[in-house]
């Protein structure tokens, strides 16, 4: 009864504030007006609507953030102090920025490192030489600064790209290869060493993924885990080692690769009870589009339907093939908006962008895999360049806060894509994405009341009902 009353009050007594980012305008997360609800018992088919139902809720929101990589940290260190402070405020301050609440970092080197490095000496399977000295120069200070800017709390998950070369059958940290079974326990111990080393320096680790992109043989750091190998590694080594080390509370994410094989990997792992008991969530990326495919959101929904207790986490995405002349290409931000809306509607609880910051070349990257980030630093001038991806992300991260519940938001027109959340303070955040060339008038409708508004061409809006 209380929920029904609350639902009615949203439309009858509350105000709606609209924030918009739109192509061919100066609007960037700009407040563009307030709306009023009026009686509208039954919309006609000719009247486009976004129907919101706060009575029906789904998954609980964990957070949105980006990866604090070596590349981001090294680029950050090259900025003047005032610009460093600006970047931290832009990402992590909810009032004067977009309020990131989630983060990722790499265990040992990845492609977005300036070189290949490890934390242990050659053939040290006992890990006696384990040392994170490499990270003390740039990455650890950057993670600490971001955490402080976020108010002292920034849930961080950590991911390896490759074990040391000598632990693998190709004797190479790059170019795929498999972890040798005789080193399964040593590698499981390595995660523990890493987590303890970071936490000893005051950086809490919220969770970890088993392996970044376990089916990709890359020219950079990579390591192949088939579904059966990952199952056996979790069940026999990593899961028990976390438990014995008092780290059962760390959120373990498996897969951490594209949506295309998502269901096959999830079913192989989660249908094995001894493996499933250690897994908190399934991570995924958006790069299945390399095949020419669209983003395969249906695979997320199938995993969520088949394993409703599991948590879906978007663990990485970026726009590849950096080109300085494309920094303000509107398609970059729209790719983010399209993924975010559909990922959350498919049951995702957390969403993690790739590098939070890169330089004017889309790096540094030690194998030339240069990419876009939401913010770039021109290290020649010390200036920050905000792509529209930053603003598209902000339409979610600024207004949807940890602990929010996704609620029904249903569009009567396919060009109006939408998702919505109810925050713990009772405010509703309704996101409306329009990737078409047309302005679309519509009504925001709740329980027989509606507020008239319009969606600009190639725009994203967040409507806050309070």
**pLDDT by residue (tens digit) across 142-166?**
999 999 999 999 999 999 999 999 9
Catalytic residue among 221, 229, 316, 334: 316
Q: Are residues 230 and 264 in the same domain?
A: yes
Q: Which domain holds residue 326?
A: 67-402
Q: Are residues 356 and 388 in the same domain?
A: yes
Domain annotation covers residue 377: yes
81-92 and 139-149 helices, crossing angle to 10° = 50
Answer with the one of 402, 433, 454 that is the final residue of a domain: 402
Q: Are residues 125 and 153 in the same domain?
A: yes
Q: Are residues 416 and 268 in the same domain?
A: no
At 192-209, the pLDDT tens digits run 999 999 999 999 999 999
Q: Are residues 394 and 410 in the same domain?
A: no
Q: Are residues 431 and 410 in the same domain?
A: yes
- Report residue 348 as tokens: 């995702």
Domain annotation covers residue 308: yes
Q: Are residues 72 and 181 in the same domain?
A: yes
Q: Among 93, 38, 60, 58, which Cα is nearest to 397's?
A: 93
Average pLDDT along the chain: 97
Q: Are residues 328 and 435 in the same domain?
A: no
- DSSP states of 97-151 as a string? S----EEEEEES--TTSSS---SS-TT-TT-TT---HHHHTTHHHHHHHHHHHTT
Residue 13 has pLDDT above 90, yes or no: no
Catalytic residue among 213, 221, 300, 334: 213
Domain annotation covers residue 4: no
d(CA 331, CA 190): 40
Domain tally, the chain: 2
Mean pLDDT of 253-275: 98
Residue 254 has pLDDT above 70, yes or no: yes
Answer with the one of 384, 402, 420 that is the final residue of a domain: 402
Residues in the chain: 466
Mean pLDDT of 437-465: 98
Looking at residue 5, what is its pLDDT? 47
Residue 316 designated active-site: yes
Q: Are residues 52 and 85 in the same domain?
A: no
Looking at residue 14, what is its pLDDT? 79
Residue 437 has pLDDT above 50, yes or no: yes
CATH number at residue 354: 3.20.20.80
Which residue bears the tokens 């632990």?
Answer: 167
At 17-58, the pLDDT tens digits run 999 999 999 999 999 999 999 999 999 999 999 999 999 999
Residue 430 has pLDDT above 60, yes or no: yes
Q: Are residues 250 and 177 in the same domain?
A: yes
Domain annotation covers residue 40: yes
Looking at residue 4, what is its pLDDT? 46
Residue 3 has pLDDT above 90, yes or no: no
Domain annotation covers residue 130: yes
Q: Are residues 209 and 294 in the same domain?
A: yes
At 309-366, the pLDDT tens digits run 999 999 999 999 999 999 999 999 999 999 999 999 999 999 999 999 999 999 999 9
Domain annotation covers residue 176: yes
| 277 φ/ψ angles, rounded to the nearest 5 degrees | -65, -20
Residue 397 has pLDDT above 70, yes or no: yes
Output the CA torsion 396→402→403→409 (10° steps): 0
HSE value, Cβ hemisphere, 13 Å, CA-based, for 193:
20
Domain annotation covers residue 6: no
If one counts every other C-beta atom within 10 angstroms of the C-beta of residue 126, the result is 10
- Report residue 123 as tokens: 């053939």
- Report residue 302 as tokens: 């199938």
Residue 6 has pLDDT above 90, yes or no: no
Domain annotation covers residue 120: yes
- Residue 9 confidence class, pLDDT cut points 50, 70, 90: low
CATH number at residue 53: 2.60.40.1180
Percent of the chain clearing pLDDT 70 (strictly above): 97
Q: Residue 268 in contact with residue 255, Cβ under 8 Å?
A: no
Q: Among 406, 292, 431, 304, which Cα is nearest to 284's?
A: 304
Looking at residue 11, what is its pLDDT? 52
Q: Are residues 136 and 26 in the same domain?
A: no
């Amino acid at each position: 009864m209380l929920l029904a009353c609350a639902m009615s009050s949203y439309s009858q007594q509350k105000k709606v504030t609209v924030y918009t980012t739109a192509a061919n305008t100066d609007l960037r997360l700009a407040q563009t007006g307030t709306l009023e609800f009026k009686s509208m018992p039954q919309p006609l088919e000719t009247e486009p609507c976004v129907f919101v139902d706060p009575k029906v809720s789904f998954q609980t929101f964990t957070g949105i953030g980006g990866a604090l990589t070596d590349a981001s940290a090294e680029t950050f260190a090259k900025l003047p102090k005032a610009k460093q402070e600006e970047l931290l405020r832009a990402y992590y301050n909810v009032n004067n920025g977009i309020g990131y609440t989630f983060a990722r970092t790499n265990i040992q080197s990845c492609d977005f490192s300036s070189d290949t490095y490890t934390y242990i000496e050659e053939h040290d399977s006992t890990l006696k030489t384990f040392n994170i000295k490499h990270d003390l120069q740039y990455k650890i200070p950057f993670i600490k600064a971001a955490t402080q800017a976020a108010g002292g709390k920034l849930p961080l998950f950590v991911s390896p790209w490759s074990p040391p070369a000598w632990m693998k059958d190709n004797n190479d940290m790059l170019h795929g290869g498999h972890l040798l079974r005789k080193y399964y326990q040593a590698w499981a111990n390595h995660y523990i060493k890493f987590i303890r080393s970071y936490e000893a320096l005051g950086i809490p680790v919220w969770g970890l993924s088993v392996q970044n992109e376990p089916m990709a043989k890359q020219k950079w750091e990579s390591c192949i885990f088939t579904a059966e190998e990952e199952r056996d590694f979790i069940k026999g080594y990593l899961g028990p080692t976390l438990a014995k080390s008092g780290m059962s509370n760390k959120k373990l994410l498996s897969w951490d690769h594209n949506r295309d094989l998502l269901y096959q990997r999830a079913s192989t792992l989660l249908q094995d009870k001894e493996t499933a008991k250690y897994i908190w969530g399934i991570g995924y990326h958006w790069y299945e589009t390399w095949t020419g495919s669209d983003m395969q959101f249906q695979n997320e929904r199938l995993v969520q339907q088949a394993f409703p207790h599991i948590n879906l986490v978007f663990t990485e995405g970026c726009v590849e093939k950096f080109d300085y002349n494309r920094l303000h290409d509107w398609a970059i931000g729209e790719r983010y908006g399209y993924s975010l809306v559909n990922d959350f509607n498919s049951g995702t609880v957390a969403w993690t962008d790739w590098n939070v910051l890169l330089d004017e070349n889309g790096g540094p990257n030690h194998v030339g895999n240069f990419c876009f980030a939401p913010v770039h630093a021109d290290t020649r001038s010390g200036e920050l360049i905000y792509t529209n991806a930053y603003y598209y992300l902000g339409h979610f991260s600024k207004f949807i806060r940890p602990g929010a519940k996704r609620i029904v938001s249903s569009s009567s027109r396919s060009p109006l894509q939408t998702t919505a959340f109810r925050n713990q303070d009772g405010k509703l955040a309704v996101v409306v994405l329009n990737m078409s060339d047309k302005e679309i008038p519509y009504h925001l409708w709740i329980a027989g009341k509606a507020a008239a508004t319009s969606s600009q061409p190639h725009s994203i809006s967040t409507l806050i009902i309070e």
